[in-house]
Amino acid sequence: MAPARDRRTGFSRRRQYGVFMGYVLAIAGAVVGAVLLVVSTFNPPAFSALRVTVAGMTTPVSSGLAWVGSGVAAVPRAIGTYFFVRQENVALHAEVDRTRALLMRARTIAYDNRRLRTLLAVRDRSVDPIVTARLVSSTASSGRRYALLNAGRWSGVRPGMPVRGPDGLVGRIVETGPNAARVLLLTDGDSIVPVRRTRDGLPAIVAGRGDGMVDVRSVNATNVKFAAGDLFVSSGIGGIYAPGVPVARVLKAGQDSVEARTFADPDTLDFALVEGAFMPMPPRGPIPAGPPPAP
C-alpha cells in the first residue's frame, strides 16, 4: 500500500505539539523582547540590572562554550605545531650532524698542525737534518715491519740514516731509490737499538718482536729489574742514532727482558724526519803504498 501523500500536521500529534511550542516560543520571545525594549527605553537602570543578572546567570554556560570552542580550535593548531616541531627537529638534527662533521675535521686539522709543529721543532733542534718526507705506507700486519718514505737519493737519503717522528725514533733507512726509501721499523725482528734508561742511565737494547711491540733487554748484567713506565732513549752507541731520542716505554714490570711499546707509531705518522748518522763512517782513503823494497 502506497504511503499517504498528505503531510498536514493533523496526522501527527507530535508534530502538532512541535508546531504549537514553536508558536509559543516565538510569541514569548517577541513579548520578552518588547518588554525589554520598553524597560530599556523608560527605565535604563532597571534594564542594566536585569542585563547584569542575566549575564551572571549565563556566564558559566558561556565559559563552558568558550572552553569547548578553544579546545576544538586548539586541535588543528596542535597538529600544525607538531608537524612544525617535527620538521624543525629534523632540520636541527641535520645541522648537528653537519656541525659534528666540521668539528671532527677541525680537530683532525688541529691534531695534524700540532704534530707538524712538533716535527718542525725537532728539525730545528736536529744537528744534521736531511729531509722531511711523508710516510706513505707501513706493513703493520706483516711479520716484517717496514715503512715506505717518499724521498730517496735525489733528496740526499742514504742507507743507515735514522728516521724519527714528532714522538720519537721510527727506524732507519735500509734501501733507497731515486725518490723513495725503505725504512726498517723499530718493531721489526732485525731492529736493535742501543738505549739507556732515563732515570739512572742503565744501558740496554731495544729489539723488535715483529708483532708491533719491542723487548727491552739488559746488557752485560743479570737480575736487572724493570718497572712499568720506565722510559728509554737512544744512547748514541753504534754511531747511527743520536743520543737522547725517545725510543720505548716499558709496559709491565719484569726482570732482564720486558715488553715495551715504542713512542712513535708509524701507522699514525704523516711525516717523518730523516737525519744524518750520528757518527758516519769515515770516507775511504787511498790505500797506503807498501814499504819500499829492500835494496
pLDDT value of position 237: 86
pLDDT value of position 105: 67
Q: How far apart are CA 267 and CA 135, in angstroms?
A: 9
pLDDT value of position 1: 46
- Cell representation of residue 50: 536585569
Partnered with residue 183 across adjacent β-strands are 147, 173
Q: So where are the chain's domains? A: 43-125, 130-275
> Do residues 238 and 252 lie in contact, with contact meaning Cβ atoms separated by under 8 Å?
no
pTM of the model: 0.55
pLDDT value of position 108: 60
Q: Which CATH class is domain 130-275?
A: mainly beta
> Do residues 96 and 123 lie in contact, with contact meaning Cβ atoms separated by under 8 Å?
no
CA-to-CA dists, residue 2 to 8, 11, 12, 120, angstroms:
17, 16, 18, 110
pLDDT in tens, the chain (295 residues): 455 555 554 556 777 777 777 777 778 777 777 776 676 676 677 666 666 676 666 667 666 666 776 766 666 777 767 667 777 777 877 777 777 767 766 666 665 566 556 655 555 555 567 888 888 887 766 668 888 899 999 989 999 899 988 888 999 999 999 999 999 999 998 999 999 999 888 999 999 998 889 999 988 777 889 999 999 999 888 888 888 889 999 999 998 899 999 988 877 777 788 988 877 655 555 555 555 555 5
Q: How far apart are CA 259 and CA 249, in angstroms?
A: 9
Burial 147-175, CB ≥16 within 10 A → b, else e: bbbebbeebebeeebbbbbbbbbbbbbbe
Give DSSP secondary structure letters for the chain: -PPP----GGG-HHHHHHHHHHHHHHHHHHHHHHHHHHHHHH-HHHHHHHHHHHHHHHHHHHHHHHHHHHHHHHHHHHHHHHHHHHHHHHHHHHHHHHHHHHHHHHHHHHHHHHHHHHHHHHHHH-SSEEEEEEEEEE-SSSSS-EEEES--GGGT--TT-EEE-SSSEEEEEEEE-SS-EEEEETTSTT-EEEEEETTT--EEEEEE-SSS-EEEEESS-SS-EE-TT-EEEE--TTSSSPTT-EEEEE-S-EESEEEEEES--GGG-SEEEEE--SSPPPPP-PPPPPPPPP-
